[in-house]
Chains A and B, each alone.
Chain A
Amino acid sequence: MVSKTSSSYVPWSEELAVSIVEKHRAERGALMPILHELQDLFGHVDPRAIALVAEELNLSNAEVYGVVTFYRDFRTEAAGRSVVHVCRGEACQSMGAERLARHAREHLGVEFGATTSDGEVTLEQVFCLGNCALSPTVMIDGRLKGKVDEAGFDELVATSRTRAT
């Protein structure tokens, strides 16, 4: 999950990427912690990082690429300045999440998985955020919001746009 806005990400640096690998190299199953930390630092897992990690861990590019693409969280290009996750799990559905999901797509003018043309907001769907007694729920830049209606959604997005600029 993206837990911060993109302004805090740093540009690609091989040196920093290597230091992340070094930090985790001795751990069992080091690949997932390494990928998380790369994405936390750079905002996405750069194709250059895939080659570098494969080389350092003695894996094939295909193995690392396969892991990166299996998991929904890992992205290979930068997300928008804000990332909004709309929950579409059954509990949220029972309180109108499908209506909210439709509204979110219309309001932002993008489908799930896409970023608005101004690069501000990436819209994602998620199946359960563990806030099922306070549905519908969205998560915006890692912050959970419960009982979100259409107007509440618009307000959250507007606030996040203001904060990001």
Chain B
Amino acid sequence: MEPVVVFVPLDAAVRSLGADDVAGAILHEAAARQRDVHLVRNGSRGMFWLEPLVEVSTPAGRVAYGPVQAGLIGELLDTGMLDGAPHPLFLGRTEEIPELRRQTRFTFSRVGVNDPLSVADYEATGGLFGLRRALEMTPQEIVTTVADSGLRGRGGAGFPTGIKWQTVLDMDSDLKFIACNADEGDSGTFADRMLMEGDPFLVVEGMAIAGLAVGASEGYIYIRSEYPDAVATMAAAIDIAHLNGWIGASVLGTDHAFDLHLRVGAGSYICGEETAMLESLEGRRGMIRAKPPLPAIAGLFGKPTVVNNVLSLATVPPILANGAEAFRELGVGRSRGTQVFQLAGNIKHGGIVEIAFGVTLGELVEDYGGGTASGRPVRAVQVGGPLGAYLPRSRFGLPMDYEAFAAAGAMVGHGGIVVFDDTVDMSRQARFAMEFCAEESCGKCTPCRVGSVRGVEVIDRIIAGHNREANLELLEDLCETMVDGSLCAMGGLTPLPVRSALEHFPEDFDRAGAVPL
């Protein structure tokens, strides 16, 4: 009898819920029942309320059980889990789970499906197709395809990837670099981590294509140290890619060379800012650089450098494989393709929703997300990380679209959405935004370094009711200085959560009785 293929995610989040114990229990209990099991540790499908999600390969396709704890494995096996039998935790065919079926998995097509480090799985599911196609194209054709797709940087800024690549391609230089920004430090974001753990070859392939496109033969991926599992998986994937001749001195047997190196951060949020990351890669303090010059002109070690987020680079192989049009036909306005939204915080159905731009904030939070985990009403959501705006329910009609969000004084950013219920005190969240900036500022420019510290103090006085009107005016003045005077987004965007909290939730700043100074 053929062994039954069983999938238990190796994703760090699922391991944080006991996936390793579940995997161990399956092997143990199956052996006790003389059942032959082939255990695959896949990535996560990104439906965390169902994790640990155990999948079993059956003649009818992959079926799922979840959430499964190790203590339940004996019972599950006795009721016929290995044959896909019903059980209260049985979810049917994985792909038919409503929250998954409604998604458009363009970038995340293999995450949770494949064994992340299986070369055979990767090639059997369209892997290397984009790279092979790129090898048949001229650098300009590759860049034009990426530009035509409408892909914009997934790290948060949303800069058109094709324009960035064109700038680097047009530079005349003996040495150019590809730098992948995997310093995913924003709270509420975990898509980069899941992709690196669930489909690491895709990142390698995307970086190799970027190298071909702009004429760079060396790439660096900078992963934050808070992601030890992603570091280990990417390191293994890079080794395997070198061993298989996908990258290295000869990319897939051609004259093109592309060497890929992995670097690990060391606990600094600001190193997710592209120029601070370059400084860190060069072995220095993560102090941001004033721009211009742009990294595309003078980046890593002063050479023209493509700096792209993990998801931006990982979206390139399927764009090349399926054509620019396949991506561009999705989306809305100037926000083309899909975005990997991340539902986080106080949310019932948290996880990944990859879907075309244009879905509304409310659909994501209430329809896909199912509202709060606490069961209390949603009061605020923060979109786009710690530097993103807080929005009330009255803004739930906003479509996820870079321009629509900007017009509403908010930002889509990396697509992370953190949900808060009605117990949240928005004055504390505004204070935290300043506190976080003070903690993580690199210190290079004064508005950010000093402004954030003063911001905490002023908000404390407002909360305490000291001279409220004058202090509110002072806070607004401070925010203006930070926006106009900071060198990078850290100081420049910290006022966004502060001002939006004040605008949408003024009552939270007016709780103490007026206290004379």
A binding-site residues for B, Cβ under 8 Å: 1, 3, 27-33, 35-36, 63, 66-67, 70-74, 87, 89-95, 126-135, 137, 139, 142-147
Contacts and interface: CB of A to CB of B under 8 A. Distances in A.
A130 B345 contact: no
A135 B342 CA distance: 14
12 contacts: A29-B263, A33-B264, A71-B265, A72-B267, A87-B187, A89-B188, A94-B420, A127-B386, A127-B439, A130-B189, A133-B190, A146-B16
B263 A94 contact: no
Contacts of A126: 226, 267
B17 A132 contact: no
Given A90-B432, A132-B416, A147 B17 contact: yes
Which A-B residue pairs are the 7 nearest by beta carbons? A133-B350, A89-B187, A31-B283, A72-B267, A71-B266, A132-B344, A94-B345
B16 A133 contact: no
Contacts of A129: 226
A18 to B, nearest CB: 18
Contact of A134 (B16, B189, B228, B285): B16
A155 B275 CA distance: 41
B436 interface: yes
A128 B187 contact: yes
Given A29-B281, A70-B285, A128-B187, A146 B13 contact: yes
Contacts of B301: 28-29
Contacts of B386: 89-90, 127
Given A63-B284, A94-B420, 16 more contacts: A28-B261, A29-B283, A32-B266, A67-B283, A71-B267, A73-B267, A90-B429, A91-B187, A93-B429, A94-B424, A127-B187, A127-B386, A130-B12, A130-B190, A130-B226, A132-B350
Contacts of B420: 94
A36 B266 CA distance: 8
Interface string B449-481: 000000000000000000000000000000000
A126 B281 CA distance: 22
Contacts of A67: 283-285
A34 to B, nearest CB: 8
A19 B186 CA distance: 36
Contacts, number: 153
B343 interface: yes
Contacts of A133: 13, 48, 190, 342-344, 347, 350-351
A71 B268 contact: yes
B107 interface: no
A66 B265 CA distance: 15
B373 interface: yes
B15 interface: yes
Interface residues of B, number: 57
The CB with the most chain B CB atoms within 10 A, among A31, A127, A142, is that of A127
B421 interface: yes
Contacts of B104: none
B239 interface: no
Contacts of B419: 94
A22 B161 CA distance: 38
Contacts of A31: 283-284
Nearest to B269: A127
B286 A134 contact: no
A31 B436 CA distance: 27
B382 to A, nearest CB: 6
A149 to B, nearest CB: 13
Contacts of B225: 1, 36, 73
B333 to A, nearest CB: 28
Contacts of A92: 187, 345
Interface in B265-314: 265-269, 280-286, 301
Nearest to B388: A90
A127 B433 CA distance: 12
B264 A32 contact: yes
B285 A66 contact: yes
B440 interface: yes
Given A130-B226, A133-B351, A134-B350, A91 B269 contact: no
Contact of A90 (B266, B269, B418): B418
Contacts of B267: 1, 71-73, 126
A74 B266 contact: yes
A27 B188 CA distance: 34
B346 interface: yes
Interface string B136-168: 000000000000000000000000000000000
B184 interface: yes
Contact of A132 (B261, B265, B269, B345): B345
The CB with the most chain B CB atoms within 10 A, among A66, A135, A139, A143, is that of A135
A1 B285 contact: no
A28 B185 CA distance: 24
A91 B384 CA distance: 12
Given A67-B285, A89-B386, A146 B17 contact: yes
A89 B373 CA distance: 17
A94 B418 contact: yes
A132 B342 contact: yes
A131 B48 CA distance: 10
Contacts of B189: 128, 130, 132
Contacts of A71: 265-268, 286
A147 to B, nearest CB: 7
A11 to B, nearest CB: 23
Contacts of A3: 228
Nearest to B229: A144
Contacts of B129: none
A130 B190 CA distance: 5
The CB with the most chain B CB atoms within 10 A, among A30, A92, A130, is that of A130
Contacts of B346: 94-95, 135
